[in-house]
Chains A and B, each alone.
Chain A
Amino acid sequence: MCDQTFLAITFGPCDNCSQNKPLMNIYLKNEPINYCSLCVELMACQGLAKGETIHTLKTESETLKAKLEEERAKLHDVELHQVAEKIEALGQFVMKTRRTLKGHGNKVLCMDWCRDKRRIVSSSQDGKVIVWDAYTTNKEHAVTMPCTWVMACAYAPSGCAVACGGLDNKCSVYPLSLDKNENLAAKKKSVAMHTNYLSSCSFTNSDMQILTSSGDGTCALWDVESGQLLQSFHGHSADVLSLNLAPSETGNTFVSGGCDKKANVWDMRSGQNVQSFETHESDINCVKYYPSGDAFATGSDDATCRLYDLRADREVAIYSKESIIFGASSVDFSLSGRLLFAGYNDYTINVWDVLKGTRVAILFGHENRVSTVRVSPDGTAFCSGSWDSTLRIWA
């Protein structure tokens, strides 16, 4: 998917055969080289002649995959819920809708909390991005994006800006001003450019960098001020639907999940894919780190949520029930990591006990599929956005 960014065609003498032909700009051992396409073919065949045929590479990759599975299975000595047997079960949960935020004209696709634990930004299918005060349910700012399906929005750590994007293939940052009458659209800054829709975006620990994921199968790290691409992450073979940064104490990694059923963990500095997990049976819609940073949960169209541990390098729990047949669109952990809130396409939110693997509550209230669920930064409440065009705050 990533090789859809454009190949610049230059014309000139080939480095190898010295004929004037259309050149392919390729990299050999990190050196840029201009070969004509005939020489590239010949070079590839030479590679083949040295014994690295497609066949041997395929067999090697099969054996490596089998070896990986074996190594992972060796360490699988116990299940998470067995370790958690002796813990007290959780009591009855009473969680109700405490606020309903109405104002979007169409499906709410994404939302994010501000670090002040009070403000929320949400985006919808009709292109509107609204900043709310969750305590009073007042709308503080509203911006209309020039595109529809704004699938990603994020609040800056300082609370002074919001980033959003969707079908326009870009991520735009809008600085929020205290003056309510000011036209926010005028100050818009386009930061990211992808070749397909923007599915998710997130500020890193500062207002200066944004991490984005896109339908073109890549994730990218951008500098907000200059709009420059700092690092790109290639490895997914289909649309990347979600990403999440590791909680700050644990360093520069993030996890992404996509339509290729894989969840990949990346090192932000090197761009390297450090771990990959492929046990889901369908698209992964959402990924979220566990609060300690040692694990992450995923929600998928196969109607299950799964917990993967990074240090054990495997899936350690599955949260599913036969009665749940609709995909999970969004997941989030409570502050201690004991509860997993998952929004499903059957209009409900299920609350799971992470350690025991059981469901502790089902929350009804939305009248259409739940598209996004996020716990507030201080853990006192969580907000859910839905295709019924409302957001609900539960506590």
Chain B
Amino acid sequence: MLRFRCASRATRSSNFRKLSGVTRSVMSNNNASSSSVAVAQKAVKQLRLEAKIRRINVSQAATDLKNFCLQNAHKDPLLLGVPSSDNPFRPPKSCGLL
């Protein structure tokens, strides 16, 4: 079972990454030092940006998520289950009404 899972990952990500890995090593031969400085500078800039954003408490965020769910629960057909007459998929054959 797990072998199957790894094989699938290989087909999707590793093969394509391997293909692109070949070209990447060819590209970066010229400017190894300057590009690693540039990469590190970019990473630091990105982290500085992320550190600046304003955050709220998880309790407040969670309460908002909960309130959204509860307020919209009545509109959610999959949650409540609508009667067969309202749900176009429930009757086995869609008839001339549609």
Contacts and interface: CB of A to CB of B under 8 A. Distances in A.
Classify chain A: how many residues form its interface, as a range.
Answer: 35 or more
A71 B55 contact: yes
Interface stretch (A13-21, A36-44, A185-193): A36-44
A243 to B, nearest CB: 16
B75 A301 contact: no
A197 interface: yes
Given A41-B34, A335-B77, A395-B89, A57 B58 contact: no
A57 B44 contact: yes
A393 B66 contact: no
A90 B20 contact: no
Contacts, number: 232
B5 A327 contact: yes
A4 B58 contact: no
B30 interface: yes
B66 A355 contact: yes
A135 to B, nearest CB: 5
Contact of A57 (B16, B40, B98): B40
Interface string A312-343: 11101000000001110000001111110000
Interface in A32-56: 37, 40-41, 43-45, 47-48, 52, 54
Contacts of B53: 274-275, 313
B27 A273 contact: no
Interface residues of B, number: 65
Contacts of B34: 40-41, 43-44, 47
A143 to B, nearest CB: 23
A378 B20 CA distance: 41
A3 B30 CA distance: 13
Interface centre among B12, B62, B75 (most CB of A within 10 A): B62
B3 interface: no
A254 to B, nearest CB: 17
Interface string B49-91: 1110101111111111110111111011111011000011110
Interface in A354-391: 354-355, 369, 375, 378-382
A80 B78 contact: no
A309 B65 CA distance: 9
Contacts of B61: 294-295, 309, 311-312, 316
Contact of A393 (B9, B46, B89): B89
A269 interface: no
A102 interface: no
A337 B89 contact: no
Interface in B17-49: 17, 19-20, 23-24, 27-28, 30-31, 33-38, 40-41, 43-44, 46-49
B20 A196 contact: yes
B84 to A, nearest CB: 10
Contacts of A354: 65, 69
A291 B78 contact: no
B89 A135 contact: yes
27 contacts: A3-B35, A4-B23, A37-B31, A47-B34, A48-B37, A54-B36, A54-B40, A57-B40, A58-B40, A68-B47, A75-B55, A76-B58, A84-B66, A238-B13, A274-B50, A275-B50, A301-B9, A314-B58, A316-B61, A325-B1, A335-B79, A336-B79, A337-B69, A338-B76, A380-B89, A395-B77, A395-B89
Closest 5 CB pairs of A and B: A44-B34, A336-B72, A336-B76, A57-B40, A64-B47
